A and B are shown apart, each in its own frame.
Chain A
């Protein structure tokens, strides 16, 4: 979904560029922290960010060329935003995807030069931030197991792609140069990208799972999920006493709450968006079917000849609004329940830890 030149007007492109530059600047600072921490060489004046992020960028670049066959003749490939965020952390993820986009624009004319800011904002920032926020939130809620990490990766990648499509629609609504109704753009973009998101989700989860199986220490998003050490006491395995709390330079405690909040907000907004449109517009597959049936629909609709006429033009009708609201309320409810469960689980875990402390 590389946006070309001339699709979003100049002022909005420039504004997007400024926002993207700011985001990349923040990412630069954060990436140093994410990549610097674990090495024994780091304390010798080592700056690891450049070579490591460079190699990860080369990886993202290469993996985008890996073809995943879908059915006879067609194949898809990974976009990599969610994968990068989960494997190397959100800051490095933003940085790496941005560099890949920059190089694609300059070297391959893929994505317009003036639209570079828009592209970085959508594919670099929105995808990575949404994916990581959702991922962290899920990892917190789900039980501490590897399968949870994989499941969280799946959902994070699944949501991140349509989220970028929705963000595109937002930019389009502000600064689009064409008269295609915003509702149509949103329906088409989100519809198609939900499909792409499913593929992205399967591949991302499988890839994260594969790395997790071999080098769990390299999965940034799964840090702190390693099984507790065991001691063999009288022929039985018992939990080793918890090690002294390690200084965590990477994630200040404050940020969990921020991430949690952002994740929750995103989920609500997305649910509202998706159910809002899902209620009248069919999903991607059905859309393709509708495209096939153009001829029959031509006569039925006032908007003659429009294959997308189904998606409505006038903007918002009440039933859809209500469904959208319902979706939002549903997610809010789910989050409330999830938080409750999470709180209970954590309390019990804390209690257990205290028990162990007294033994």
Chain B
């Protein structure tokens, strides 16, 4: 589910969105999604307005529509689920296309889940596309996430590729000896690889710890970079959730 590589999501460009400090962006995206989730589902126009807002951000960030759409694939399992809803939700039935009986509340449910989910994924994709990995970690740190969590996350990012490479080498070694996993019969072999991978990862963790101690680590990471934000940057980042909030309030009022 979490397949894919971090650096593939980031799209390097010079844009006002890229330049915003990471913690401002994280806050903005979170507030935006929260507002979207709170919007009444019958306010169809509000969702259109949200989509336009995100399109504006994407344009400002020079992220092409195709890129965002491709990343939306991650939603697919859940879209399938949404498509079942009109069939399983009880309530008033209508006939679509002359042969398909579906329930009206089910259609609303499907719409609600799809619209909000898609807007959420799009906002997250835009965040990941305009913020470097390192900056995201700094942003999380700035947002007062416990330092240990941020450290673990940054080790995970640093060694994610190393461990994945080890896994790939094991796979090459297996196939070089004529092994091809074709079904549950071969799970034992794959699980042995997974076990070996765990042992290697854990032992590497111990060696990394020694290397850290050797360079003066005493439990806290030294502060090297710090994400800072000016009032103007906060204001710029607040534009998205504020506009969304206005739309949402209108949606409730109308």
Contacts and interface: CB of A to CB of B under 8 A. Distances in A.
Contact of A47 (B106, B193, B201, B219): B219
B209 A202 contact: no
A307 B87 contact: yes
Interface string B110-140: 1011011101110111011000010010001
Interface stretch (A208-216, A223-231, A331-339, A350-358): A208-216
A99 B149 contact: yes
A203 B192 CA distance: 10
A75 to B, nearest CB: 9
B153 A99 contact: yes
B4 A108 contact: yes
A46 B87 contact: no
B163 interface: yes
A113 B124 CA distance: 8
B187 A68 contact: yes
B172 interface: no
B85 interface: yes
A69 B192 CA distance: 15
A214 B195 contact: yes
Interface stretch (A58-66, A235-243, A263-271): A58-66
Interface in A91-111: 95-96, 98-100, 102-110
B191 interface: yes
Interface residues of B, number: 100
A309 to B, nearest CB: 8
Nearest to A4: B117
A5 interface: yes
A206 B187 CA distance: 8
B237 interface: no
Nearest to A302: B90
Interface stretch (B13-21, B28-36, B224-232): B28-36
A114 B33 contact: yes
Contacts of A279: none
Interface in B160-176: 160, 162-164, 166-167
Contact of A56 (B78, B127, B205, B219): B205
B201 A56 contact: yes
Contact of B202 (A7, A52, A104, A178): A52
A306 interface: yes
Nearest to B38: A10
B91 interface: yes
Contacts of A9: 37
A105 B9 CA distance: 13
A52 B209 contact: yes
A55 B162 CA distance: 10
Nearest to B155: A54
B212 interface: yes
A184 B197 CA distance: 39
Contacts of A298: 101
A6 B37 contact: yes
The B interface is mostly helix, strand or loop, or mixed, namely helix
A65 B194 contact: no
A66 B187 CA distance: 11
B159 A55 contact: yes
A268 B110 CA distance: 35
A180 interface: yes
B184 A46 contact: no
Contacts of B197: 59, 62-63
Contact of A65 (B3, B29, B155): B3
Interface in B180-230: 181-184, 186-188, 190-199, 201-202, 204-206, 208-210, 212-213, 217-221
B178 interface: no
B35 to A, nearest CB: 9
B113 A50 contact: no
Nearest to A57: B156
A65 B164 contact: yes
Given A207-B194, A304-B101, A307-B87, 16 more contacts: A4-B120, A5-B37, A28-B148, A50-B152, A52-B202, A55-B201, A55-B204, A56-B202, A57-B152, A58-B162, A71-B183, A181-B89, A210-B196, A214-B195, A214-B196, A305-B100
Interface of B: 1-4, 6, 9, 26, 29-30, 33-34, 36-38, 41, 71, 74-75, 78, 84-85, 87-91, 93, 100-102, 105-106, 109-110, 112-113, 115-117, 119-121, 123-125, 127-128, 133, 136, 140, 146, 148-149, 151-160, 162-164, 166-167, 181-184, 186-188, 190-199, 201-202, 204-206, 208-210, 212-213, 217-221
7 contacts: A5-B120, A46-B209, A58-B156, A68-B187, A102-B153, A107-B6, A305-B102
* In the complex, the 7 A-B pairs of residues with the closest C-beta atoms, listed nearest first: A54-B155, A6-B116, A210-B195, A5-B120, A206-B191, A55-B205, A109-B124
